[in-house]
Amino acid sequence: MEVFAVLWREFIFFKRRFWKITTSAIMTPLLYLIAFGWGLGKDIVIEGATYMHFVIPGIIALSTMNTSFNAVAIRINISKLHEKSFEYYLTSPVNTSLLAFGHILAGAFRGMYAAFLIFLISFIFGIKIYVDFYFVLICFLNSFLFAAFGYGAALSIESHYDMSRFTTYVMTPMSFLCGTFFSLKNLPPVVKETIGILPLSHTSQSLRDIVLKGQFDHKSILVLLIYAIGFYFFGVGMSYKEMK
């Protein structure tokens, strides 16, 4: 019931801010596509494909990460520190784990919406990408795990200013390093192995392999699932921390 209550509320929020959410979800990927796809990468062939085909799965991975993280982190941050409505949950007879699940699921859906928008934009750019069940599943897992991370992060901070630490030290480095815009194959082995552990690397690589080769390393699903579960429990743990 908690899950549906939160999803219902988030749907109203989404409906009411539909155009703002949509335009902001389109803006950054659109710029990446123009700058890196059309501009910089027009004549580049990488891993046997045009750079546009190469970069779109990376941008989808990146956008699902950012959108789902921000969708949850900003909502929870405002709810906790500004609107103070988060405390209402804690005095209500709600199951904290289900409450977290509702918020994270809502964030994951926002991530999936962002992926859908990029898919549409790519189509407008004349790029058709191959999407199968696994492509959708990986997008969802990526969205879910970063929504869960956003949930835990927002609850772990004591001031709005602390939120930028997560963006500066976690999200931004991952955005650029996890094989979203370039192939990890060219990196020195130690760096490659280290970056390869990160969830966004698995998402970028898997989505790209599905689009370019029609197959991918299924182990990545397990890795993303482990991250998703780990971050979910991080979020639930942070909810309990709220009740000091």
Partner 1 sequence: MIEIIDVSKVFGEFTAVDNVNLKIESGEFLGLLGPNGAGKTTLIKLLTGLLKPTSGAIYIDGEKMSRSNMEIKKRIGVVPQYTNLDKELTVYENLIFAAKLFKIKGYKDKIEELLTFIELEEHKNKKAMNLSGGMQRRLMIAKALINDPDIIFLDEPTVGIDLNGRRKIWDILKGMKAIGKTVLLTTHYIEEADYLCNQVCLINNGKVFKKETPEKLKDDLGIYTVEYFDSEMKTRYEYFKDKNGAEKYILNTEYISYTIRKTTLEDVFYNFTNRKVV
Q: Per rule CB under 8 A, is residue 46 in the interface with partner 1?
A: no
Compute the least distance from the CB of residue 93 to partner 1, in Å. Answer: 4
Query: Which stretch in 39-47, 52-60, 90-98, 185-193 sits in contact with partner 1 by CB under 8 A?
Result: 90-98
Considering only residues 105 through 144, tell me which ones interact with partner 1, judged by CB under 8 A: none
Q: How far apart are CA 169 and CA 190, in angstroms?
A: 20
- Give the DSSP H/E element, type plus range, for residue 49: strand 49-50
Q: Is 85 in the site for partner 1 (CB under 8 A)?
A: yes
The correct pick among 8, 11, 123, 169 for binding partner 1 (CB under 8 A) is 8
**From the CA atom positions of the chain, what is the Rg in Å?**
18
Q: Residue 166: which H helix or E strand, with range?
A: helix 163-166
Q: Which is nearer to partner 1, 218 or 244 (CB)?
A: 244
What CA–CA distance (Å, rounded) separates 152 from 154?
6
Closest approach, Cβ 164 to partner 1, in A, equals 23
* Cα–Cα separations (whole angstroms), residue 13 to 17, 106, 206: 6, 11, 32
Contact 53, 129 (CB under 8 A): yes
- Per CB under 8 A, the list member of 11, 16, 193, 217 interacting with partner 1 is 16
Q: Which residues bind partner 1 (CB under 8 A)?
A: 1-2, 4-5, 8-9, 12-13, 16-17, 79, 83-85, 87-94, 240, 243-244
